[in-house]
Amino acid sequence: MPESDLIGMLAGTLTTLSFIPQVIRIWRTRHAEDISTSMFVIFITGVGLWLCYGIRLHAWPVIVANSVTLMLASMVLALKFHFRRQKRRRISE
């Protein structure tokens, strides 16, 4: 594997793993009100475009890192909506 691919895999691994603590925190606290919806929508769109770029170039470090990042960032946004909906149900009961 070329050195540039190793650097890309390391960079992708670190930036992707950075989302795991946020996902765990949201899941444990059942609270995501402070997460910016617009930031995550923009970010997920950008990551999706990076994934398309990686696929077109057959750049595996870009494909793998952005696939996992897309999944984790989408999970943060999904949890935000899920817990917001739960809170609204509790308030209306």
Domain 3-92 has what CATH class? mainly alpha
Instruction: Categorize the per-residue pLDDT at 78 as very low, low, confident or very high, splitting at 50, 70 and 90.
Output: very high
Sign of the alpha-carbon dihedral angle for 18, 23, 24, 30: positive
Q: Which one, of 79, 71, 77, 66, lies nearest residue 27 by Cα?
A: 79
Domain boundaries defined on the chain: 3-92
**Higher pLDDT residue, 46 or 9?**
46
What pLDDT is attached to residue 87? Answer: 82
Rg (CA), the chain: 16
pLDDT at 91 over 90: no
- This model's pTM is above 0.85: no
Q: How far is CA 30 from CA 44, 58, 61, 70, 77, in A?
A: 21, 38, 33, 21, 13
